[in-house]
Homo-oligomer: A and B are copies of this chain.
Amino acid sequence: MKIYVDAMGGDHAPAEIVKGAVLAARDFDRKIHLIGNQELLEQELVKHGSVEGLIEIVHASEVVKNEDEPARVIRQKKDSSMVVGMRLLKEEPDAILVSAGSTGALLAGGTLLLGRIKGIQRPALTVALPSGKATPTLLLDVGANADCKASYLVQFAMMASVYAQNILDIPDPKVGLINIGTEANKGNELYKETYALLETSGLHFIGNVESRDLVTSEADILVCDGFTGNIILKLTEGLSGYIMGALKTAMTENLRSTMGAMLLKPALKKFKTKFDYKEYGGAPLLGIKSGIIKAHGSSDAKAFYNAIRQGIVFQEKKVLEKISNKIVEIQ
């Protein structure tokens, strides 16, 4: 069961990706296949001492950029680290691929090249959100499907439940439905229908969750359509960034403020960690035949190390097989 790493994806590739991969290979004693420009990767690898038997390079001459049209990447960038990685997955369905590259391209490539798990109507993009709990909250779909049917949302909840059980060690994950009110009859037609289906799904459905409770909700999984999820994800990122920026400005506007900010530094560092998406590593593309873990685009070595760890557990716990079995069971 191989572990492939797209060494060229994300803002800090390849240096941080290589660093994270070497750390992971050593810690977990697993061989990692780095896909990317051979010369660049060798230059990075020499910084980390001997990696004999732990790291192997798979050369790929191109790189997928965020500006690339996702649906065209497979045909237009055949020798990119990402597409090479996906072609390797096609040959070895048990392998996993960890990438910090373009989410859209990973999803399009995964769906077109690898296909969906039998019975799954649509794959979903998942993110792990900071939460008040010991484990993050999984939010999905955050953008793979702008138009959804109620049955898709129920499948998203099921896939995320299997993932949470196996990767986050939550025995009976709680599923909440994102909505505009807590009562059963709230929301638009799609959400009313989804509510009814979730109630009889056999999942641990805890009802509607309003967006104001996104961070504080007891739900382990929050499901919604990809339009709503993408709005939530980007608003969360945008607003946090805006508030942090305004705070920074306020703290440096004069000498008195700067002195205060210096005294507050340790406390503020802890505060910032709370909102640091990197702590959670990656998130899976659920519903695709092979295991793809999407690491955050701004992943540093630590975040990428965490994403690889998730990938290894994903593989060892046979999450995809369990999703396959579950879909047969509930059909």
Contact = CB atoms under 8 A, between A and B. Distances in A.
A235 B212 contact: yes
Contacts of A268: 250
A250 B264 CA distance: 8
B227 A214 contact: no
Contacts of A225: 188
Contacts of A239: 214-215, 235-236, 239-240
Interface stretch (A9-17, A33-41, A154-162, A255-263): A255-263
A147 B243 contact: no
Given A238-B211, A239-B240, A267 B263 contact: no
B238 A275 contact: no
Interface of A: 143, 146-147, 178, 180, 186-189, 191, 210-216, 225-228, 230-232, 234-243, 246-247, 249-251, 253-254, 256-257, 259-268, 270-271, 274-275
Contacts of A234: 180, 210-212
Nearest to A187: B146
A6 to B, nearest CB: 23
Contacts of A257: 263-264, 266-267
A238 B213 contact: yes
A82 to B, nearest CB: 20
Given A180-B231, A180-B234, A271 B259 contact: no
Contact of A187 (B227, B237, B265): B227
A110 to B, nearest CB: 19
